[in-house]
Structure 1
Amino acid sequence: MIKISPDDISNLKEAVENHVMDGVILTRTVENDDEIQFLKENGVPFVIIGPCDDKYVLRVDTDNEAACYDMTNALIHKGLNKMAVMCAERDHKVNQIRLDGILRAHMKSHMYLDKSLIFYDTESEIVAEMAVEKSLAANVDCILCMDDNICLGVIRILKSMGMKIPEDIKIASLHNSKLLDEFVPSISCIYQDEAALGKEAGRLLYTYLNENKILPHSILGYELQIKDSTG
């Protein structure tokens, strides 16, 4: 297990230079993809969990754009027509892809998503609090959270403001977690089997290392779970 960031892959470089592993599984990709270029240059086999534009890279993912399109479309059909979107870092590719799905659903329904209500870096509590305040001032009827951690933070902020879910505001997460399952009311989310993603990534890498065989990209399914938080 090696922690890296978009601005610092020194831990990965050190591990490669010390020859402590046979292959790498990357669990997140960003815009610059320095870690991908580094692994390629050093001949280290790797698999990506998530999106990647390079068709020659081993990859496993969920169809995040379709999932977010389906979730947004379902909420629009429930009468929720003014949404705010809470994102993490702008350069995370999965955020860009999820946002594409949200925008496509709005376009398909001939609706407009106010770009001033798309907030980035909301994993920061200070940023999230300002984003929630601006969203409520704009009278949004639903807050879409890019992942479960952001959703948990937004829920805490709403509760501290005395806002009731779903009576005062609806909320949904574009990624599930066991922590979300503990909340009352239950939180609408997109269910992805993370264990299956990890297992499939391991299978792709193991097959390449042991059989020198490149298996096709694996795109796993998802499930919309519309629960009490969206009424």
Structure 2
Amino acid sequence: MGKVYTIHDIAIRLDISKSTVSRALRNHPDVSKETKELVFEMAKKLNYQKNILASNLASKNTNLIGVVIPEIARQHFFAQALSGIQKVAKEKGYIVMVCQSNEELQEEINQVNALVNSRVAGILISLSKETDSYEHLQFAIDRNIPVVLFDRGADEMELSQVTVDDYKGAYDVTKHLIHQGYTNPAHLCGPMSLSISQKRYNGFIDALKDAGLSASNAHVYQCDNLSLDAKDATERLLSLKKRPDAVFCMSDYIAIQVLKVLKDKGIRVPEDIALAGFAGDPITDLMDPTITTVEQPAFEIGVQACRRVIMEAESEDRETLGVINKVLPTKVIERDSTLRV
């Protein structure tokens, strides 16, 4: 068997760095067309064959980006975010590996550990609803693998994060309800272990206070299990002596479940109870009535998060680069479920 040539051999013959050869072979846009042509020509001449496993084990950076999300099913947001991630990764010469935590901390830990052992270049993660410790993220960081949080952040960790302004989105949609004349809105929040649930709850409460409405008497129910909890919470709201005249839901999925319960019980929306969600899922525009929602730039979140993790992965001085906390704006989409004629 003849000599097996490596990136090092190509670099020596062309008198360029190994990192430049590696980036050229990945068709990275930062490498000039002329250099790429020289690298590919030399690789062909030497019959260079990339050994992905050996490359992963020998290099701190590979062409793999690991993504961990809570779930894809029922989540238009994550599907759009992944599209943004994939777009940037492809442009930069990276391959995306997607894992699901299924909203379980232990599964999230397992997935992160597997990605670390695969020597991915970086990890993008949206935390599970159970995540209340971050040793697994530190495990990756200690092995020189950058971690960027998206959608669901964690103030406890000194990590780059790309999120939306959950507080203002919730504040604005609650303000919209109040401007429509609703004076007794309720809130179905998500798991309070999630920062997005806390921020959306705080936005709801502060909007009530600023409008001079009683925040202490507002009905707030926590929905950990989405549809099951949403159904129970809606029935509890309907059993109150003084029913709320509007419901702001932490997510569009919860709002859709609430709408189903209300319609099954003959409650008119918005005539009897108004309804609003959060996420901007296109299905909200197909419901009857169409559901008011807070639109999130999911695709752009994926784009920004992927750009950041690649920047950190390719940085030779990550400490000086520091971390960023990118907060993207939201927009209230007013629809029939809250609008009074």
Q: TM-score, normalised by structure 2?
A: 0.62
Q: Larger radius of gyration, structure 1 or 2?
A: 2
Which residue does 2:123 correspond to in 1?
A: 24
Candidates 144, 158, 168, aligned match of 1:66: 168
Shift of 1:113: 3.1
Judge conservation of contact 1:122–1:150 (CA < 8 Å) in 2.
no
| Pair 1:13-2:117 in alignment | no
Judge conservation of contact 1:87–1:120 (CA < 8 Å) in 2.
yes
Shift of 1:54: 4.7
In 2, Cα distance between equivalents of 1:161 and 1:87: 22
Which residue does 2:137 correspond to in 1?
A: 36
| Pair 1:207-2:311 in alignment | yes
Letter in structure 1 aligned against 2:153:
P
Which residue does 1:99 correspond to in 2?
A: 201
| Gaps in structure 1 of 5+ consecutive residues | none
Letter in structure 1 aligned against 2:193:
D
Which residue does 2:100 correspond to in 1?
A: 3
Shift of 1:94: 0.5
Judge conservation of contact 1:29–1:93 (CA < 8 Å) in 2.
no
Letter in structure 1 aligned against 2:288:
V
Which is worse superposed, 39-48 or 196-205?
39-48
> Are residues 2 and 206 of structure 1, via their aligned partners in 2, closer, same or farther at CA, if it must alter by over 3 Å?
same
Letter in structure 2 aligned against 1:226:
E
Q: Percent identity?
A: 23
| Pair 1:218-2:315 in alignment | no
Say how many residue pairs are matched.
230
Alignment of 1:1-231 (within 5 A): 1-4=98-101, 5-8=103-106, 9-19=109-119, 21-28=120-127, 32-34=132-134, 35-49=136-150, 50-54=152-156, 56-113=158-215, 117-121=219-223, 123-138=225-240, 139-212=243-316, 213-214=321-322, 216-231=324-339
Judge conservation of contact 2:105–2:128 (CA < 8 Å) in 1.
no
Aligned CA RMSD, in angstroms, stands at 2.2
SS in 2 for 1:228: coil
> Are residues 127 and 29 of structure 1, via their aligned partners in 2, closer, same or farther at CA, if it must alter by over 3 Å?
closer
Instruction: Provide Cα deviations, 1:198-223, integer angstroms capped at 9, x if missing partner.
Output: 01101111111223445633221211
Shift of 1:114: 5.1
Which is worse superposed, 149-158 or 204-213?
204-213
Letter in structure 2 aligned against 1:219:
V
In 1, Cα distance between equivalents of 2:214 and 2:140: 41
| Gaps in structure 2 of 5+ consecutive residues | 1-97
Select the structure with the greater relative contact order (CA < 8 A; seq sep ≥ 6): 1
SS in 2 for 1:99: helix
> Are residues 59 and 153 of structure 1, via their aligned partners in 2, closer, same or farther at CA, if it must alter by over 3 Å?
same
> Are residues 62 and 45 of structure 1, via their aligned partners in 2, closer, same or farther at CA, if it must alter by over 3 Å?
same
Judge conservation of contact 1:123–1:150 (CA < 8 Å) in 2.
no
Q: TM-score, normalised by structure 1?
A: 0.89
Shift of 1:122: 5.2
Shift of 1:6: 4.7
